[in-house]
């Protein structure tokens, strides 16, 4: 049914695990219960997830590197009754959560956390029924991948890897390959072993792979999600990948839009058939991206975007937009210009409050050689409007990123001035 790196796990493995779960004192009675799970064994986690889904329970998967104390804390705060961990013999152990918050009125499903780029991550719950609807919609909207083997090189405790990478593959009758070895050369080998494969991974990993792939030996298919690719990476992938896709979504509703034949790095393709999306009318007038779900509920994504020829384009997070004297500045537009400057390898644009009203455009960048703030501003002068040009500029060792590859501009805005290399 699945592979984890080079190890195959067939239907017999899952049948054996299901029998063990049936005999387990907690799992055998998981219907209507809330279980937090932190397991190193990926195949065991997938088996447990499928079992809890089938039995009508709720599961909260935690990142595999979460310390036990941190896992307990998250289990308690999310209202889970128990925490499932690996015991000394490698099987399943149970840690009682001290703060039990039974919620019998909430349907069974999956608990996830938001990305946390705008502050403390929030607990978000989705029903298994809504996830099944998403899966059916995804499969019908994206038939290109029906015969392709998914190589899932991203965490399968997160919706992107778990739902779109694994559960969609199982719905299609495919055997997904879940990669635990995140060495780029290993991932590249797995892709070469399966010529018609589609890689599910993060923009950061995809950018690294793009540097290793030869133009005359392109990858078959790549799916990116989570944050917008840098323009240079997007253009490079156009020459090194036969089929490049991008999907857009949010923790509250899963995958919402998927792009084939991408026209730009911000192109998110067309909405999946089970949702209705509203956004701005054109590039000059981006507006809130608002989603209407099949049950009529509306989800405000807090993202800005617009439609063009039926395709959704992402502009910026609403809370990341910078207001300079009444003018809106979108970090992505400024970063695109900065990254085109010779010598600059990475950059992030964010805002800081001036204190007397309005925001200031701030820039952190990475370069091998020293580049002065004046040189950066001079480069921007003919390419950006005056209100878009960064005023607070720092050369730094590295741009901090979250495990999912995203940058927390909020954390940068609240941090003290950048250490070292600052001018």
Rounded average pLDDT over 258-271: 96
The rounded Cα 259 to chain-centroid distance in angstroms is 16
423 falls in which pLDDT band (50, 70, 90)?
A: very low
Rounded average pLDDT over 322-332: 87
Residues 6+ apart with CB under 8 A from 352: 359, 360, 362, 392, 413
Q: CA-CA distance, 126 to 58, in Å (whole number)?
A: 9
pLDDT in the model for residue 317: 87
Q: Residue 172: which CATH number? A: 3.40.50.12780
115 falls in which pLDDT band (50, 70, 90)?
A: low
Q: Are residues 296 and 327 in the same domain?
A: no
121 falls within a domain? no
Q: Are residues 144 and 223 in the same domain?
A: yes
pLDDT in tens, 84-99: 998 777 678 888 776 5
pLDDT at 121 over 80: no
pLDDT at 405 over 80: no
pLDDT in the model for residue 199: 98
Range of the domain at 335: 321-414
Q: Are residues 159 and 29 in the same domain?
A: no
Rounded average pLDDT over 275-304: 95
pLDDT in the model for residue 364: 96
Q: Residue 358: which CATH number? A: 3.30.300.30
pLDDT in the model for residue 69: 86
Q: CA-CA distance, 289 to 257, in Å (whole number)?
A: 11
pLDDT in the model for residue 140: 98
Q: Are residues 150 and 199 in the same domain?
A: yes
Q: Are residues 23 and 87 in the same domain?
A: yes
Select from 90, 106, 122 the last residue of a domain: 106
Q: Are residues 178 and 271 in the same domain?
A: yes
Structural domain tally of the chain?
3
Backbone phi, then psi, for 352, in 5-degree steps?
Answer: -130, 140
Residues 6+ apart with CB under 8 A from 382: none
3-state secondary structure of 75: helix
281 falls within a domain? yes
Average of per-residue pLDDT values in the chain:
91
Which run of H or of E encompasses 333?
A: helix 331-338
Structure tokens belonging to residue 315: 């502009």
pLDDT at 74 over 70: yes
122 falls within a domain? no
115 falls within a domain? no
Select from 262, 292, 319 the last residue of a domain: 319
120 falls within a domain? no
Q: Residue 31: which CATH number? A: 3.40.120
Rounded average pLDDT over 269-277: 98
Structure tokens belonging to residue 273: 């058939």
Backbone phi, then psi, for 93, in 5-degree steps?
Answer: -115, 165
Q: Are 209 and 186 in contact (CB under 8 A)?
A: no
pLDDT in the model for residue 99: 52
Q: Are residues 192 and 289 in the same domain?
A: yes
318 falls in which pLDDT band (50, 70, 90)?
A: confident
pLDDT at 394 over 70: yes
364 falls within a domain? yes
20 falls within a domain? yes
Q: Could you write out the DSSP letters of every residue in 383-406?
A: TS-GGGS-SEEEE-S-----TTS-
Q: Are 114 and 303 in contact (CB under 8 A)?
A: no
3-state secondary structure of 299: strand
Q: Are 219 and 191 in contact (CB under 8 A)?
A: yes
pLDDT in tens, 154-210: 999 999 999 999 999 999 999 999 999 999 999 999 999 998 999 999 998 999 999
pLDDT at 341 over 60: yes
Which range among 15-24, 325-334, 335-344 shows the weakest confidence by mean pLDDT?
A: 325-334
Residue 50's closest CA among 92, 79, 21, 8?
21
Q: Are residues 256 and 218 in the same domain?
A: yes
Helices vs strands, H then E, count in the chain: 12, 24
Select from 295, 319, 343 the last residue of a domain: 319
Q: Are residues 136 and 255 in the same domain?
A: yes
Q: Are residues 337 and 275 in the same domain?
A: no
417 falls in which pLDDT band (50, 70, 90)?
A: low
pLDDT at 118 over 80: no
pLDDT in the model for residue 23: 95
pLDDT in tens, 33-51: 999 999 999 999 999 999 9
Q: CA-CA distance, 109 to 53, in Å (whole number)?
A: 7
422 falls within a domain? no
28 falls in which pLDDT band (50, 70, 90)?
A: very high
Rounded average pLDDT over 382-388: 91
Q: Are residues 303 and 382 in the same domain?
A: no
Q: Are residues 31 and 21 in the same domain?
A: yes
pLDDT in the model for residue 143: 97
pLDDT in the model for residue 299: 96
Residue 301 C-beta-side C-alpha neighbours within 13 Å = 27
């Amino acid at each position: 049914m699945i592979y984890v790196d080079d190890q195959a796990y067939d239907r017999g493995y899952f049948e054996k695990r299901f029998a063990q779960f049936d005999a387990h004192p907690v799992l055998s009675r998981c219907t209507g219960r809330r279980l937090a799970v932190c397991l190193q064994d990926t195949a065991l986690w997938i088996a447990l997830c499928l079992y809890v889904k089938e039995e009508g329970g709720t599961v909260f998967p935690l990142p595999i590197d979460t310390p036990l104390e941190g896992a307990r804390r998250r289990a308690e705060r999310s209202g889970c009754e128990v925490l499932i961990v690996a015991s000394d013999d490698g099987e399943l152990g149970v840690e009682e959560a001290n703060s039990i918050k039974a919620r019998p009125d909430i349907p069974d499903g999956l608990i996830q956390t938001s990305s946390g780029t705008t502050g403390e991550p929030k607990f978000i719950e989705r029903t298994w029924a809504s996830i099944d609807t998403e899966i059916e919609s995804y499969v019908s909207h994206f038939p290109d991948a029906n015969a392709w083997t998914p190589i899932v090189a991203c965490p399968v405790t997160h919706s992107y890897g778990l739902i779109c990478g694994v559960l969609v593959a199982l719905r299609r009758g495919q055997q997904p390959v879940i990669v635990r070895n995140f060495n780029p050369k290993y991932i590249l080998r797995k892709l070469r072993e399966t010529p018609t494969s589609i890689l599910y991974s993060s923009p950061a990993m995809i950018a690294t792979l793009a540097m290793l792939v030869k133009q005359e030996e392109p990858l078959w298919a790549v799916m990116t999600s989570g944050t917008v690719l840098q323009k240079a990476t997007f253009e490079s992938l156009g020459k090194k990948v036969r089929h490049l896709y991008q999907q857009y979504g949010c923790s509250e509703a899963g995958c919402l839009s998927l792009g084939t034949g991408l026209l730009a790095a911000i192109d998110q393709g067309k909405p999946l058939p089970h949702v209705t999306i509203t956004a701005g009318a054109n590039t000059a007038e981006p507006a809130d991206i608002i989603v209407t779900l099949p049950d009529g509920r509306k989800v405000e994504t807090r993202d800005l975007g617009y439609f063009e020829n039926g395709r959704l384009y992402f502009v910026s997070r609403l809370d990341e937009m910078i207001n300079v004297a009444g003018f809106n500045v979108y970090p992505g537009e400024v970063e695109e210009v900065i990254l085109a400057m010779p010598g600059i390898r990475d950059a992030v644009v964010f805002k800081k409050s001036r204190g007397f009203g309005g925001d200031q455009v701030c820039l952190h960048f990475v370069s091998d050689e020293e580049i002065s703030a004046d040189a950066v501003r001079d480069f921007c002068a003919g390419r950006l409007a005056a209100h878009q040009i960064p005023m607070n500029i720092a050369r730094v060792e590295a741009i901090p990123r979250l495990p999912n590859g995203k940058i927390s501009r909020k954390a940068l805005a609240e941090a003290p001035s950048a250490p070292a290399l600052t001018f």
